A and B are shown apart, each in its own frame.
Chain A
Amino acid sequence: MANLKDIQRKIKSVSSTQKTTRAMKLVSTAKLRRAEDLAKRSRLYAQKMNEVLAEIAGRIECNKVGGLEKNRFFKRIENPKMIDIIFVTADKGLCGGFNIQTIKAAKQLISEFQEKKVKIRLRGVGKKGIEFFKYNEIEMYDEVVGLSSKPEKAKSDEFIASSVEDFANGKTDAIYVVYNGYKNMITQELHVNRILPIDSDAFDCENASKRSMLEIEAQDEEHMLNSLVDNYVKYNMYYTLIDSVAAEHSARMQAMDTATNNAKEMVKSLNVQFNKARQAAITTELIEIISGVESMK
């Protein structure tokens, strides 16, 4: 039977941990509300933006409109040689499997491409993921810390711009983004998106040809598409970040809730143990006294 003092000390330490986790949960809940609101409001815009681009990509693919199929942003590349993989993790831990899920998905993507002998450049956002890959001696091409916990449009634009530039110049053949997004209060959803070249797979050529031709009204189509793509990529990156923040807070809230409950259970069982130990001590003492008295008779 454990010492009474030891048990008491343990109870104290567990309940102070419980206080911490409860406070963290409250903080995450408050932050989640704001992040969730932002992510929800932006979601529709991001979806429509992707739809517009996918439609243009699809129509270019189906109709082979005047030379535009050579545009790098829309062209499907069968055998990529070099790709960029961007992953987004949190800067802080204590959020359950949130970071490790993203890391696992990124690793899987990397090995998939390595099998095909594709060179990979890894770009990381978020301290946790960067630390993981550095520890495993996987080289990072570019890294940003602080952006995933506090997304800023200007910084995210800057981050993605260099990647897009390399793509436009032909240095890389695709850009993938891996992140854990927000689904609802209790679930996160892992996303692996190819942001460039723009996906036209979902586009239905048959159906589209029934409708009228798409007219791109601009004297300089190339210019218009480039400016559109630029906005699409930047917004996608920004949306990825805000979606990831919302998911991070929801994951942390949940993890901390579980931790608080576990601590509560533990205090309960420790209290039972403490009472048992105390009772045992009292019983032993009584027996000692009684047997002492008996022997004196």
Chain B
Amino acid sequence: MEKFKLEILTPNGQIYDGDVVSVTLPGEEGEFGVLAHHASLTTLLTSGVIDIEKEDKKIESVLINWGVAQVDEEKVVVLVEGAVAIRGESESEISKALEEAKAMLDDIADSGVAIASASAKLETAAKNLL
């Protein structure tokens, strides 16, 4: 499958920069997926989980609280205010990331539904990694 460039930036630095096959973003109007050669698009993101499908079919998840996604034909730039990536080499690292993510979820004073779905997604993302 064709790949494209994805950048995820937070005020504390870049948390993702690389080639991906597809990415699913939590748009303000609902979740949407992006593949290579997507038409230009700018939209707001709400609290939720970004699923990144990498070239090796591995899926990485990043929890965000607010953001902007700028999509064009060659690349996707996502600017987020706060983010926690669910990744790690060992079980302890993953569970630590999961805890951080949950702490951030508690901070987001948003609608209950979004949080519930995000937290369910986090659990599955973590399980898939193990």
Contact present for A55 and B70 (CB under 8 Å): yes
Q: Which residues of A come within 8 Å of B, CB atoms?
A: 41-42, 44-45, 48-49, 52, 55-56, 211-219, 224, 227-228, 231, 235, 238
Contact present for A215 and B13 (CB under 8 Å): no
Contact present for B79 and A45 (CB under 8 Å): yes
Contact present for B72 and A217 (CB under 8 Å): no
Known: A44-B14, A211-B72, A216-B42. 15 other contacts (CB 8 A): A42-B12, A42-B13, A44-B9, A45-B10, A49-B68, A52-B79, A212-B72, A212-B73, A214-B40, A215-B40, A215-B42, A216-B43, A217-B41, A217-B42, A219-B29
Q: How far apart are the CA atoms of A42 and B39 in the complex, in Å?
A: 28
Which residues of B (19-68) have their CB < 8 Å from a CB of A? 27-29, 39-44, 66, 68
Known: A52-B70, A212-B73. A45 touches B42 (CB 8 A): no
Query: Counting chain A CB atoms within 10 Å of each CB, which of B43, B44, B81 scores highest?
Result: B44
Known: A41-B13, A42-B11, A44-B13. A224 touches B40 (CB 8 A): no
- Closest residue on chain B to residue A239 by CB atoms: B11
Answer yes or no: B77 CB below 8 A from chain A CBs: yes
Residues of chain A lying within 8 A (CB to CB) of residue B13: 41-42, 44-45
User: In terms of DSSP, what is the predominant structure of the interface of chain A?
Assistant: helix
Contact present for A52 and B42 (CB under 8 Å): yes
Residues of chain A lying within 8 A (CB to CB) of residue B66: 231
Q: How far apart are the CA atoms of A235 and B68 in the complex, in Å?
A: 13
Known: A224-B28, A228-B44. A212 touches B9 (CB 8 A): no
Residues of chain A lying within 8 A (CB to CB) of residue B43: 216-218, 224
Contact present for A48 and B77 (CB under 8 Å): yes
Contact present for B39 and A212 (CB under 8 Å): yes
Residues of chain A lying within 8 A (CB to CB) of residue B39: 212-213, 215
Query: Counting chain B CB atoms within 10 Å of each CB, which of A56, A224, A235 scores highest?
Result: A224
Q: How far apart are the CA atoms of A235 and B11 in the complex, in Å?
A: 9
**Could you tell me the distance in whole angstroms from the C-beta of B65 to the nearest C-beta in chain A?**
12
Would you mind naming 13 contact pairs between A and B with Cβ atoms under 8 Å apart?
A44-B9, A44-B14, A49-B79, A55-B42, A55-B70, A211-B73, A214-B42, A216-B43, A217-B27, A227-B44, A231-B66, A231-B68, A231-B81
- 8 A-B pairs with least C-beta separation: A41-B13, A217-B43, A214-B40, A45-B9, A212-B39, A215-B41, A212-B40, A45-B11
**Could you tell me the distance in whole angstroms from the C-beta of B67 to the nearest C-beta in chain A?**
9
Contact present for B40 and A218 (CB under 8 Å): no
- Closest residue on chain A to residue B13 by CB atoms: A41
Q: How far apart are the CA atoms of A231 and B41 in the complex, in Å?
A: 19
**Could you tell me the distance in whole angstroms from the C-beta of B61 to the nearest C-beta in chain A?**
21
- Closest residue on chain A to residue B9 by CB atoms: A45
Q: How far apart are the CA atoms of A110 and B37 in the complex, in Å?
A: 47
Residues of chain B lying within 8 A (CB to CB) of residue A218: 28-29, 43-44
Contact present for B68 and A228 (CB under 8 Å): yes
Q: How far apart are the CA atoms of A224 and B77 in the complex, in Å?
A: 17
Contact present for A41 and B68 (CB under 8 Å): no
Contact present for B29 and A217 (CB under 8 Å): yes
Q: How far apart are the CA atoms of A215 and B71 in the complex, in Å?
A: 9
Residues of chain A lying within 8 A (CB to CB) of residue B70: 52, 55
Q: How far apart are the CA atoms of A277 and B99 in the complex, in Å?
A: 73
- Closest residue on chain A to residue B28 by CB atoms: A218
Contact present for B9 and A52 (CB under 8 Å): no
Residues of chain B lying within 8 A (CB to CB) of residue A42: 11-13
**Could you tell me the distance in whole angstroms from the C-beta of A151 to the nearest C-beta in chain B?**
12
Contact present for A214 and B79 (CB under 8 Å): no
**Could you tell me the distance in whole angstroms from the C-beta of B27 to the nearest C-beta in chain A?**
7
**Could you tell me the distance in whole angstroms from the C-beta of B72 to the nearest C-beta in chain A?**
7
Residues of chain A lying within 8 A (CB to CB) of residue B81: 231
Interface string of B75-108 (1 = CB under 8 A from A): 0010101000000000000000000000000000
